[in-house]
Amino acid sequence: MNKQILEISNLSVSIGNDTIIDNISMDFHWKKITTILGPSGCGKTTLIRCINRMHELIPHARVSGSILLFKKNIYEMNPILVRREIGMVFQRPNPFPTMSIYDNVIAGYKLNGIKLGSAEKDNIVETSLCRAGLWSEVKDALHRRGAFLSGGQQQRLCIARALAMKPRILLLDEPTSALDPKSTGHIEDLVSELKESVTIIMVTHNIRQASRISDFTAFLSKGELVEYGSTEKLFTVPEDKRTEEYLSRSAG
């Protein structure tokens, strides 16, 4: 692996007495799209939440193992800094309903108490919305609240909000599962473009989506990392029987 951006070693997560993630080790690739694939309930969300320490919100969750971000253990870093480096987009679009589109994009700065000049703010808002492919659609409504946006537009607004913080890694948790096919296509194109500038880790349970856009795929089952490799190889010659079964069942 050319650049060690993110390395997970021996990560296990338990909630109460249940083991949710079972001793997973994997390295992610710099400026590539990695999808995490697996049946519902296998621990995909839990795994990516460990990467930006959002799992700490779950009561009674215990984590062992380490995650290194550029060789630094994120569990020894300030979680706030971890989250600024590693942005997150959720399953359901969740723009802040009390804020305008403009304020949503720079919400990360406002929330963190980072003061910016207005020219700088304008610049960040425009750049982020452009990167999220939303600028042309909302540039005349920046100071309106985002409630009138479609689901797909709201999700792109959330992507812009995450990009505004200039993260090096972007986590997306089934970002299209609440969207129609057209918006889904839009987001997929967008994610493919974004890998020019950020490392992308995306959860999906849609195998076509994984094969369309990702460079690498990890297959999870019952909290275990069953198989991990280039998307092409995993989809054409899977090594593990469980992967093969899952792929053929989901394709059928």
Partner 1 sequence: MRKTSQLSPEDRNIRIYETLFSWILKFFSVLVVATLVGILATILIQALPSFRDAGINFYTGKSWDPVFKHFSATPFVVGTLATTVLALLISIPFSLSIALFSGFYLHPGRITSTIRLLIDLLAGIPSVIYGFWGLSIVVPAVRQFELFSGRVPYGVGIFTAALILSIMIVPYAASIGRDVIALVPSDLKEAGLALGATPYEVVRWIVMPYSKAGLLSGILLSFGRAIGETMAVTMVIGNANKIPGSIFDPANTISSIIANEFAEATDPIYVSHLIHMGLILFITTTAIGLFGRRVIKKWSSH
Ligand X SMILES: Nc1ncnc2c1ncn2[C@@H]1O[C@H](COP(=O)(O)OP(=O)(O)O)[C@@H](O)[C@H]1O
* Site for partner 1, rule CB under 8 A: 52, 54, 57, 59, 80-81, 83-84, 87-88, 90, 92, 94, 96-99, 107-108, 110-113, 158, 161-162, 165
CB of 95 to partner 1, least distance (A): 8
CA–CA gap between residue 75 and residue 73 (Å, rounded): 5
Alpha carbon dihedral 21, 173, 159, 80, in 10-degree steps, equals: -20
| Per-residue H/E/C for the chain | CCCCCEEEEEEEEEECCEEEEEEEEEEECCCCEEEEECCCCCCHHHHHHHHCCHHHHCCCEEEEEEEEECCEEHHHCCHHHHHHHEEEECCCCCCCCCCEHHHHHCHHHHHCCCCCCHHHHHHHHHHHHHHCCCHHHHCCCCCCEHHHCCHHHHHHHHHHHHHHCCCCEEEEECCCCCCCHHHHHHHHHHHHHHCCCCEEEEEECCHHHHHHHCCEEEEEECCEEEEEEEHHHHHHCCCCHHHHHHHHHHHC
Of 107 and 130, CB closest to partner 1: 107
Q: Which does 41 bind (CB under 5 to 8 A by kind): ligand X, partner 1, Mg ion, none?
A: ligand X
Of 46 and 231, CB closest to ligand X: 46
CB of 49 to Mg ion, least distance (A): 9
Spell out a b/e string for 17-31, using b for 16 or more CB atoms within 10 Å of the CB, else e: eeebbeebebbbbeb
Candidate ranges 43-51, 124-132, 189-197, 233-241; the one touching Mg ion (CB under 5 A): 43-51
Candidate ranges 9-17, 44-52, 98-106, 235-243; the one touching Mg ion (CB under 5 A): 44-52
CB of 17 to partner 1, least distance (A): 17
Q: Which does 98 bind (CB under 5 to 8 A by kind): partner 1, ligand X, Mg ion, none?
A: partner 1
Q: Which does 20 bind (CB under 5 to 8 A by kind): Mg ion, ligand X, partner 1, none?
A: ligand X
Of 45 and 217, CB closest to ligand X: 45
CB of 101 to partner 1, least distance (A): 15
Q: Which does 158 bind (CB under 5 to 8 A by kind): ligand X, partner 1, Mg ion, none?
A: partner 1
Contact positions vs ligand X (CB under 6 A) = 15, 20, 38, 40-46, 58
Of 138 and 218, CB closest to ligand X: 218
Which residue in this structure is represented by tokens 């007495």?
Answer: 17
CB of 126 to ligand X, least distance (A): 34
Of 15 and 130, CB closest to ligand X: 15
Q: Which residues bind Mg ion (CB under 5 A)?
A: 45
